[in-house]
Structure 1
Amino acid sequence: MNLAHAIVAGAGLAGLSAAVVLAEAGVAVSLSDSAAQAGGRCRSYHDPALGLTIDNGNHLVLSGNAAVTAYRDQIGASTPLAGPDHADFAFADLASGARWTVRINDGSLPWWVLSRQHRVPGTRLADYIPLARLLRGRDEPIGEVVEPSGALWDRLLAPVLLAALNTPPAEASAALAARVLRETLGRGGLATRPRIAEPTLAAAFIDPALAWLEARGTRLAAGRRLRALEFSGDAVSALVWADGREEVAADEAVILAVPSWVALELVPGLDAPVEHRAIVNAHFAFAATPDMPQMLGLIGGTAEWVFAHQDRVSVTISAADALVQQDREELAKILWRDVQHALGVTAPLPAWQIVKEKRATFAATPAQDRLRPGARTRWRNLFLAGDWVQTGLPATIEGALRSGHTAARLALGRPLLY
């Protein structure tokens, strides 16, 4: 297909990634989203309860995320991602009071596991050998590949895999975990350094993309809901928006970058994940002090990760289905107690905000992973994008960006890079 125009439905990171690739290729792009702003589940907004601009959640990327780097370079994102110079991960056990830092060396040869000062306390070199089985990436639960117990599991693997997969690690897909580990930890510490959007997700990923696209003639049509697709033969023939019907010409392509549950309603016969897991985030109007770790993993509490920003402290809990119905104020009090314990804070509960994403990601189990469709569909001009599309990765920023990149290159008829 000699592509002249592309319609991108959805302006989350997958849709923005697709739009950027298409616009760079000289294709005219129409970009729409049902929400009032771009970003999808990676959004920033001013919260009146805090008097601050916050992100809906603490979306962490790693320095080895190739699509993140390529996307930000393409759109000229000048706001740097914050994070340590080395792959140092600090932890605190709220029950025992123990604290430690796992220090992964920069090079690809993992000598850090040989050093008691670098590896997980209470572990031996022999404890790391079974991880080779996990790196093979078999299509089965992680708990059937490695023993889900012991110091290495409790103090490093479980919290890190829970954050990456947003699914209880023992039941999550070993194949998805292996892909993440091979692309980051398997390449050494320089590819495993944590990176956090500063000051906001919008500044790091969304606003530069919108500005870059607008400079090339693409403006976001916000608040525009796609209600239906019409098909004729092997192609999408029209899109039915809330504000009217739009014909699709022979030299046009449609990239559907919407959540999986929306795509299931729009695309006949589509297979896609149907089970999801929640994420709960808490934001506290409490300015971090210089001595606070920028990121701290917690064991033995309700909070799992604490992020210290200049103007706020934020908490993330993954696979938080059991918490989404809990009273917000009671949850804020519980999480602030964890923050007090972890950071040595004595201040009373400050202004707070709880953000609950009930369907934050698909459940990263082997069964749900098998339901993920590819970007190409049986209609020649319809392509799928989103972190739920099959990328080989769990539902992450990296996966979302790759999915959009792949959908756009398929529409252009170009070789895939991921």
Structure 2
Amino acid sequence: MADALSFTRATIAGAGLAGLSAAVALRKAGVAVSISDSAAQAGGRCRSYHDPQLGLTIDNGNHLVLSGNPAVERFRSLVGATTPLAGPDHADFTFHDLTSAKRWTVRINDGAVPWWVAVPARRVPGSRISDYLPFAKLLSTREGRIDQRVAARGPVWSHLLEPVLLAALNTAPGESSAKLAASVLRETIAKGGRAMRPRVAEPSLGAAFIDPALAWLADRGSAVTLGRRLRAIAVDGDRVTGLDWGGGIEPVAADEAVILAVPPWVATSLVPELHAPDEFRAIVNGHFALPVPAGAPPMLGLFGGTAEWLFAFPDRLSVTVSAADRLVDMDREALARTFWADICAALGLDTPMPAWQIVKEKRATFAATPEQNAKRPPAATRWRNLFLAGDWTDTGLPATIEGALRSGETVARLALGR
């Protein structure tokens, strides 16, 4: 493990949210920061881009954060992000069953005492108060599979917990880590509705997170260099001594921290001794260029179709499917037509399919199983000046925006000797 040292400069490979979080925290503390990314734009898996097929700026995925995510608030406040995160005033989650055409809203009260489960109009239709009690076992931080902890059946499971956990873990909830599920539930539903209000970036993730961070860093002399890939790392004893960015090994100064904020498969290719998750799950998103129909909820959970969540943006409709490995090899137009049929059924539309785009992330997150969770490394390594950042490191959370931002904060604290 790295000693408690304080570095006066840092080189960061990777300009996703984890790398940007580390860069911002270090620069705020007065550390000279150099950050590079192999891609043509910053943001990693939380990027926005102009799609010529749609004629719109879209996100690669519909990433959701919650009002109780403290690292999200800290990061956006620090970089002066003014683009709002849109969402309801309360923790209201609306669902629609495409088979029965029934729609309902689960309304979680603001306070920590969950009296909403005692009100039939607020809880899952067909559920009773007693149906909720067994799921308190999911708050235990002991590891194991979720389906070994609770009975994965009944209306509370199938019409609330299963879709919420699937979205948070990006892994079939039954086989997922009970420890990670507990982390999610303890920080959200266990704290009450004030911590669980859904928030979506409008108009884009770039505007809400990435652009203000890049501007903040550039204003402080730490502009991000794009199209620059770290190809090799040289080590000697307990420290990194050199980095190869394609032009040969460049020396690493004695007071310089090196932060790998890259995907796990890149980190292990650079440092083969590292252990990291090696099983992943896909996410598939569909985007459709259609202004929001009147009465469409901003976010709608779907049952009985292929799409799982429907997001209504001012200029487009988007759907998301988690743990979507079964869809990755499906024909793109066939997938778009399947999604569009779900959208029409959910919103009562009779409209030809508009311009569309399908975005597939084959390795969107690590598989949130107990076995893969156990492979997540800490931020510190056995090399005193090498640190790891990313939602795949041991943040205690699944692979989320909040986890990525916290990982950046963690490596910054370590590099500062705190």
- Please give the TM-score of this superposition, normalised by the length of structure 2: 0.98
Secondary structure at the aligned position of 1:70 is classed as helix
Larger mean CA deviation between 52-61 and 289-298 belongs to 289-298
| Match in the other structure for 1:376 | 380
In 1, distance between residues paired with 2:116 and 2:246? 56
Secondary structure at the aligned position of 1:112 is classed as helix
Instruction: Give yes or no for the alignment of 1:279 onto 2:300.
Output: no
In the TM superposition, residue 268 of structure 1 has moved relative to its aligned partner by 3.1
| Match in the other structure for 2:399 | 395
In the TM superposition, residue 243 of structure 1 has moved relative to its aligned partner by 4.0
The one-letter amino acid of 2:154's match is G
Residues 67, 398 of structure 1: 8 Å contact kept: yes
- 1:64-109 deviation line (CA, Å, top 9, x unaligned): 0010000001100011100000000000011121110000000010
Using the aligned pairs only, state the percent identity. Answer: 68
Residues 81, 196 of structure 1: 8 Å contact kept: yes
Q: How does 1:237-276 map to 2 (within 5 A)?
A: 237-276=241-280
The one-letter amino acid of 2:11's match is I
In the TM superposition, residue 149 of structure 1 has moved relative to its aligned partner by 1.0
| Match in the other structure for 1:109 | 113
The one-letter amino acid of 1:394's match is P
Instruction: Give yes or no for the alignment of 1:358 onto 2:397.
Output: no
In the TM superposition, residue 275 of structure 1 has moved relative to its aligned partner by 0.2
Instruction: Give yes or no for the alignment of 1:75 onto 2:79.
Output: yes
| Match in the other structure for 1:54 | 58
Q: Which runs of 5+ in 1 are unaligned?
A: none
Residues 391, 403 of structure 2: 8 Å contact kept: yes
- 1:31-62 deviation line (CA, Å, top 9, x unaligned): 00000110000000000000000000100000
In the TM superposition, residue 2 of structure 1 has moved relative to its aligned partner by 3.8
In 1, distance between residues paired with 2:246 and 2:404? 26
Larger mean CA deviation between 199-208 and 235-244 belongs to 235-244
The one-letter amino acid of 1:158's match is E
Instruction: Give yes or no for the alignment of 1:206 onto 2:210.
Output: yes
Q: How does 1:173-212 map to 2 (within 5 A)?
A: 173-212=177-216
The one-letter amino acid of 1:385's match is A
Q: How does 1:152-171 map to 2 (within 5 A)?
A: 152-171=156-175
In 2, distance between residues paired with 1:67 and 1:357? 24
* From 18, 23, 37, the counterpart of 2:22: 18
In 1, distance between residues paired with 2:294 and 2:383? 55
In 2, distance between residues paired with 1:112 and 1:332? 37
TM-align CA RMSD:
0.7
In the TM superposition, residue 20 of structure 1 has moved relative to its aligned partner by 0.3
In 2, distance between residues paired with 1:260 and 1:231? 19
Instruction: Give yes or no for the alignment of 1:305 onto 2:305.
Output: no
Residues 172, 364 of structure 1: 8 Å contact kept: yes
| Match in the other structure for 2:353 | 349
In the TM superposition, residue 380 of structure 1 has moved relative to its aligned partner by 0.2
Secondary structure at the aligned position of 1:130 is classed as helix
In 2, distance between residues paired with 1:109 and 1:371? 36
Provide the aligned length of Structure 1 versus Structure 2: 414
- 1:365-406 deviation line (CA, Å, top 9, x unaligned): 000000000000000000000000000100000000000110
| Match in the other structure for 1:140 | 144
| Match in the other structure for 1:291 | 295
The one-letter amino acid of 2:257's match is A
2 and 124 in structure 1: CA distance in 2 versus 1, 3 angstrom threshold: closer
- 1:1-21 deviation line (CA, Å, top 9, x unaligned): 342210010000000000000
Secondary structure at the aligned position of 2:393 is classed as coil
In 2, distance between residues paired with 1:35 and 1:234? 30
Secondary structure at the aligned position of 1:129 is classed as helix
Secondary structure at the aligned position of 1:342 is classed as helix
The one-letter amino acid of 1:312's match is R
In 1, distance between residues paired with 2:239 and 2:271? 12
In 2, distance between residues paired with 1:323 and 1:286? 23
In 2, distance between residues paired with 1:206 and 1:103? 32
In 2, distance between residues paired with 1:307 and 1:242? 42
In the TM superposition, residue 200 of structure 1 has moved relative to its aligned partner by 0.3
Secondary structure at the aligned position of 1:175 is classed as helix
Instruction: Give yes or no for the alignment of 1:38 onto 2:42.
Output: yes
The one-letter amino acid of 2:369's match is T
In the TM superposition, residue 137 of structure 1 has moved relative to its aligned partner by 2.4
In 2, distance between residues paired with 1:132 and 1:336? 37
The one-letter amino acid of 1:399's match is G
In 1, distance between residues paired with 2:202 and 2:193? 21
In 1, distance between residues paired with 2:123 and 2:65? 22
Larger mean CA deviation between 66-75 and 134-143 belongs to 134-143
In 2, distance between residues paired with 1:278 and 1:81? 25
Q: Which runs of 5+ in 2 are unaligned?
A: none
| Match in the other structure for 2:238 | 234
106 and 230 in structure 1: CA distance in 2 versus 1, 3 angstrom threshold: same
Residues 301, 308 of structure 2: 8 Å contact kept: yes
Residues 282, 361 of structure 2: 8 Å contact kept: yes
In the TM superposition, residue 291 of structure 1 has moved relative to its aligned partner by 1.0
In 1, distance between residues paired with 2:198 and 2:350? 28
| Match in the other structure for 2:327 | 323
- Please give the TM-score of this superposition, normalised by the length of structure 1: 0.98
In the TM superposition, residue 269 of structure 1 has moved relative to its aligned partner by 1.4
Residues 224, 243 of structure 1: 8 Å contact kept: no
Residues 255, 408 of structure 1: 8 Å contact kept: no
